[in-house]
Structure 1
Amino acid sequence: MQASVTFVGNATTLLRLGQFTLLTDPAFGPAGSRVHLGYGAWTKRVRDPALDVLSGVTVDAVVLSHLHSDHFDPAARRWVEPTLPILTTPQASRKLRRKRFLSARGLPPFECHEWTRDRQRLRVTAVPGRHGPGVVNRLLPDVMGSVIELELDGRLATRVYITGDTLMHDVLEQVPRRFGDIDAMLIHLGGTRLAGLLLTMDDRHGVELTRLIRPALTVPIHFDDYQVMKSPLSDFVTRAEQQGLTGITPIGRGKTLTLPVRPGSPGLSRPHNRAA
């Protein structure tokens, strides 16, 4: 049995949790490709995704934080089978179902979807996010974070929080309040800016959220794939270290990181870093 994350690029990861494999926010376009962000705004990809890690992989579902083309681009839409379950926001699911993805399921905040295999259960619960500041958020796609829990024989083995494209906001306080300890957090950073507006967490927002969640392991993703990303990963790592936060573990493209598991979870290995 395993619990790991493999980084493909941007917000795209493969989560292998026990008998289950999830693909997050698939964006497969190469460096130089352009994606539409809405309202006439475009951005260019500047780094290639590590698509070789997808070879031979069978995916149980896609977890899609929101429907922006840097999270579900044309290349990924061609790759994803229409019958593959996609867990996303209700707004995104309606649009996807009109575009042949009939297995898209919208999860309102704190609604969950579960799979059970043998002695294992995987639960994905949608949690709130805010993509833009103030009233600007209403002009942007709805966004969700996800809390993913793997249970073995009814006992929690690991709990992973994926932030989605959110800014630090009071609604995020509900995550630790409702779920308690988080074993690993995949945090969307990058300090994305359009027309001067901050639309994803920069180093300051990211450190504030990490301090709130206090995960055992924090894995930064979504930080340098597109031109609109203005906040370097190094700024987040430095600020986190200055504030005494531990467990910050960057991961390279195509690399795999073993996720923390809880004591007493039979068959699950202890975490070790294979991200370099």
Structure 2
Amino acid sequence: MLELGYGASSTDFTCGYRIYISGDTLMVDELNEIPKRYAGHQIDLMLAHLGGTTIPSPFIGRLMEPLALMVTMDAEQGLQLIQLIQPDLTIPIHYDDYDVFTSPLEDFQRMVEAAGLGDRIVIMDRGDQFRFLVKGLEQEQE
């Protein structure tokens, strides 16, 4: 969690913009701690690592068949994360960097739309910029 804001010291810090960055993870029980820790606090933006990234695992058992392990969220888990964290906006990232992705961005978009949350995601192309205002800094700059 990144908290951007202002204050002369840590004791008078005022958060003006809060960003959650998922990192390479899956929907695990530990993520349930985030809404508990930030209850009553707005999460303005979430950067969600998606794509259902897979990596090969060692051969399993006597079958000697390779097994792929997923290490980033797929579309369904991305939707579950939005529903859990409830950010104002979500930007999906890291979903097409390699050839080991199993869950295309279109699947995520379709699921989010079906859940009625389409207005809460921002799809960006490489090189795009997302601009936001850290609340409270406008007074500091005057």
Partners of 1:191 and 1:259 in 2: CA distance: 28
The offset of 1:267, in angstroms, is: 1.6
Q: Are 1:164 and 2:37 matched, yes or no? A: no
Q: Which runs of 5+ in 1 are unaligned?
A: 1-146, 269-276
1:178–1:184: structure 2 CA closer, same or farther, 3 Å change rule?
Answer: same
2:123 — aligned with what? Answer: 250
Q: Which runs of 5+ in 2 are unaligned?
A: 8-12, 56-66
Q: Are 1:152 and 2:6 matched, yes or no? A: yes
2:52 — aligned with what? Answer: 191
2:72 — aligned with what? Answer: 200
Structure 1 runs (4+) deviating above 2 angstroms are 194-197, 259-262
Partners of 1:185 and 1:224 in 2: CA distance: 18
Q: Are 1:227 and 2:62 matched, yes or no? A: no
How many pairs are equivalent?
Answer: 120
1:217 — aligned with what? Answer: 89
CA RMSD of aligned residues (A): 1.6
Match for 2:106: what amino acid? S
The structure with more helix, counted as a fraction of residues: 2
The offset of 1:199, in angstroms, is: 1.6
1:267 — aligned with what? Answer: 138
SS in 1 for 2:92: strand
The structure with more strand, counted as a fraction of residues: 1
1:240 — aligned with what? Answer: 112
SS in 2 for 1:267: helix
SS in 2 for 1:171: helix
Determine if contact 1:189/1:203 at 8 Å carries over to the other structure: yes
Determine if contact 1:176/1:182 at 8 Å carries over to the other structure: no
Match for 2:15: what amino acid? L
Partners of 1:197 and 1:156 in 2: CA distance: 38
Query: C-alpha offsets along residues 37-56 of structure 1, whole Å, 9 cap, x if unaligned?
Result: xxxxxxxxxxxxxxxxxxxx
Match for 2:6: what amino acid? L
Match for 1:150: what amino acid? L
| TM-score relative to the length of structure 2 | 0.78
The offset of 1:260, in angstroms, is: 5.7
Partners of 1:216 and 1:185 in 2: CA distance: 8
Partners of 1:208 and 1:255 in 2: CA distance: 26
